[in-house]
Amino acid sequence: MVRRRQAVTIKHVAADAGVSLQTVSRVINQEPNVRASMRERVQASIDKLGYVPSIAAQRMSGSRSYLILALNDRERTIADWRAREGTDWVDQMLMGGMLECAKHGYRLIFELVDTHSDHVERELQGCIAALQPDGVILTPPHSDNPLITDLLRRQNIPFAQIGSTGEAGGISLIMGDEGAARTATRHLIDLGHQRIGFIKGAAEYKLSDWREAGWKAEMADAGLGFDGLCAAGDFSYRSGVDAAQKLLALRPRPTAIIASSDHMALATVDVARKMGMQVPRDLSVVSFDNTPMTMLTRPALTAIDQPVAATTALAVERIVAAKRGDALPEGPTIVPAGLIVRESTAPPAK
């Protein structure tokens, strides 16, 4: 293996511009105390030589690494990838995160960690030691894992907690789950529905509670009852079948169901169909997440769109701001979710 060196280094630029290394460094890092004329001269050399700083060297000398780590749950992510059902959480995250990183001269590194394992700490520690990221983006369900958040805080690394209210001290970003559930419920009420069932997500995720709370609140505001209309699920198709069967066995039967995941919504449609009902004629269904399957299935599902890309982009923005020392807003930031109306919702049958 040939030893490979940096083609153009700060030295070349310094020599070319006839200045010291330090001055070039100041220009690169946009620091003050450089005369405009000097700055221009150095910049000209940089452009001429096509110089790009080595992040390894930058990191070495104790400054930034320009790397932001996006952490996802290994088990769940790999399961999604293997299932090949089109779940595009990762893709949306990359889209939002990478594009925002590019704007600021950072790079996003996507990593998987075993949230449930005892050695999360060891794994994460290793990842941090190896990469020395300038910031970390945490996603559910490990946004609130104290083993992770404590470690990050100890190491003084800024981190964003997506889907968490940020008690652990990170930057809190929430995808408007409660409001989204209210929107979905409102949509159904506006169509004329009164008995609206709800299938809850996995208890491990805080957003499961938020969504349930939103549904209840909107029902209450409309003077509608919701006792017995909530069934537990865990986001999976299998759990959706059970929950839908439970809800559709009720008398009077709900005329609409909100499912906390696309898989559970799909399951609800299938169960209804098996019972001889048609969607949306006999049952309206609203889905959560808006992964590609909602538009590929028939009827296409009306769904709450989780703003994954926007949220990840915001996480990057906030981390970069934190590195700059900018003041960050207090408390959680809510990124609003949208409702995409498709074919699975309609007024209830008379």
Binding site for a second copy (CB under 8 A): 1-8, 50-57, 59-60, 62, 65-66, 78, 80-82, 84-86, 88, 90-92, 94-95, 98-99, 107, 109-112, 122, 125-126, 129-132, 155-157, 290-293, 295-298, 309, 323, 325
Residue 6 interacts with DNA (CB under 7 A): yes or no: yes
Q: What DSSP string runs through 224-283?
A: ---TT-EEE--SSHHHHHHHHHHHHTSSSPPSEEEESSHHHHHHHHHHHHHTT--TTTT-
Which of DNA, a second copy, none does residue 20 bind (CB under 5 to 8 Å by kind)?
Answer: DNA
Residue 35 interacts with DNA (CB under 7 A): yes or no: yes
Nearer to a second copy, 66 or 235 (CB): 66
Min dist CB 208 to a second copy, Å, is: 24
Which of a second copy, DNA, none does residue 90 bind (CB under 5 to 8 Å by kind)?
Answer: a second copy
Give the β-pairing of 338-340 and 302-305.
Answer: antiparallel
Nearer to a second copy, 83 or 250 (CB): 83
Residue 191 interacts with DNA (CB under 7 A): yes or no: no
Which of a second copy, DNA, none does residue 115 bind (CB under 5 to 8 Å by kind)?
Answer: none
β-pair partners for 68: 108, 135
DSSP-derived secondary structure letter, 314: H
Nearer to DNA, 39 or 342 (CB): 39
Binding range to DNA, per CB under 7 A, among 30-38, 151-159, 173-181, 304-312: 30-38
* Lateral strand order in the sheet of 230-232: 230-232, 196-200, 256-259, 284-289, 302-305, 338-340
| Of 30, 46, 49, 58, the one binding DNA by CB under 7 A | 58
Min dist CB 12 to DNA, Å, is: 8
Min dist CB 95 to a second copy, Å, is: 4
Residue 46 interacts with DNA (CB under 7 A): yes or no: no
Min dist CB 67 to DNA, Å, is: 14
Q: Do residues 152 and 178 make contact, with C-beta atoms less than 8 angstroms apart? A: no
Both tokens of residue 232? 């537990």
Residue 49 interacts with DNA (CB under 7 A): yes or no: no
Q: Rg of the chain over CA atoms, in angstroms?
A: 25
Q: Which residues contact 120 (CB under 8 A, 6 or more apart)?
A: 113, 114, 142, 145, 147, 148
Count of chain residues binding DNA (CB under 7 A): 30
Min dist CB 17 to a second copy, Å, is: 18
Q: Which amino acid is at 196?
A: I
Q: Which amino acid is at 144?
A: D
Nearer to DNA, 3 or 84 (CB): 3
**Nearest-angstrom CA–CA distance, 142 and 138:** 7
The residue among 89, 101, 104 whose CA lies nearest residue 308 is 89
Q: Is 224 exposed, middle or buried (0-12, 13-18, 19+ CB in 10 A)?
A: middle
- Could you list the residues that contact DNA (CB under 7 A)? 3, 5-6, 9-11, 19-26, 28-29, 33-35, 37-38, 51, 53-54, 57-58, 60-63
